[in-house]
Structures are given as structure tokens and as C-alpha cells.
């Protein structure tokens, strides 16, 4: 199951999420929205927050980078807060 796509929010001036492949040798149950992951971003390595686990991406899978490490055993952002963030994100997109 190393083909799951992780939709991750990273600290960036771009107002969008980024897709990554799941880290190698990680159990899919460890991939809960609201957990933090270490990911490559440009020339840096940053901490991002998992927004969703998907089975496909708009980007070809061979072009996606692999997330490096899951940093949390449980979500550090609750599902209620994640839902509110997703709602606010959708609303801000409608207002732009």
C-alpha cells in the first residue's frame, strides 16, 4: 500500500495543498488527517499537516515526492478543527 496520495498543507505563500506519496514502510493507519509529516519542499525540508489521504492525484504519481516521516502517533489537530479549516478554505476560495 505504498501508493496512497497524501494531501498536505505546508507553510508556503501559495494558498494550496500539495500531494505527496506516503512515506516508505508506514502503516496506512498511521496516516490520519491532522497529523504532522516531514516533507521535502523545494530545497528545504518542512513540517506539513496531513489534510486527506487519497488514492489519486491530478499530478502523475511518478512526479510526486515521497513524504519523509510521520511525526505524530495521533492527530495533533482535532477532526472538528480540521473540518472548520476546510470549510474556511472553501469559503475563502468562493470570495476571491
The domain segmentation of the chain, as residue ranges, is 5-95
Q: What is the pTM of this model?
A: 0.87
* Phi, psi (rounded to 5 degrees) for 86: -65, -40
Distance from C-alpha of 79 to C-alpha of 85, rounded to nearest angstrom:
10
Distance from C-alpha of 29 to C-alpha of 49, rounded to nearest angstrom:
16
Better pLDDT: 19 or 88: 19
Q: Is the pLDDT of residue 1 over 50?
A: no
- CATH 3.40.1440.60 holds for 5-95: yes
Q: Are 68 and 40 in contact (CB under 8 A)?
A: yes
- pLDDT for 63: 94
Across the chain, how many H-helices and E-strands are there?
Answer: 1, 5
Distance from C-alpha of 39 to C-alpha of 91, rounded to nearest angstrom:
27
The count of C-alpha atoms lying within 13 angstroms of the C-alpha of 16, restricted to the half-sphere facing its C-beta, is: 3
**Length reported for the chain:** 96
Question: What tens digit of pLDDT does each residue of 49-95 get?
Answer: 999 999 899 999 899 999 999 999 899 999 999 899 888 878 877 76
Q: What is the mean pLDDT of residues 24-33?
A: 86
Q: Is the pLDDT of residue 42 over 70?
A: yes
Better pLDDT: 26 or 34: 34
Amino acid at each position: 500500500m505504498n501508493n496512497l496520495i497524501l494531501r498536505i498543507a505546508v507553510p508556503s505563500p501559495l494558498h494550496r495543498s500539495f500531494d505527496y506519496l506516503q512515506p516508505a514502510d508506514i502503516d496506512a493507519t498511521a496516516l490520519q488527517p491532522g497529523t504532522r509529516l516531514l516533507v521535502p519542499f523545494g530545497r528545504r525540508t518542512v513540517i506539513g499537516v496531513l489534510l486527506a489521504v487519497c488514492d489519486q492525484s491530478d499530478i502523475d504519481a511518478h512526479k510526486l515526492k515521497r513524504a519523509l516521516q510521520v511525526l505524530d502517533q495521533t492527530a495533533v489537530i482535532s477532526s472538528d478543527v480540521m473540518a472548520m479549516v476546510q470549510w474556511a478554505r472553501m469559503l475563502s476560495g468562493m470570495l476571491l
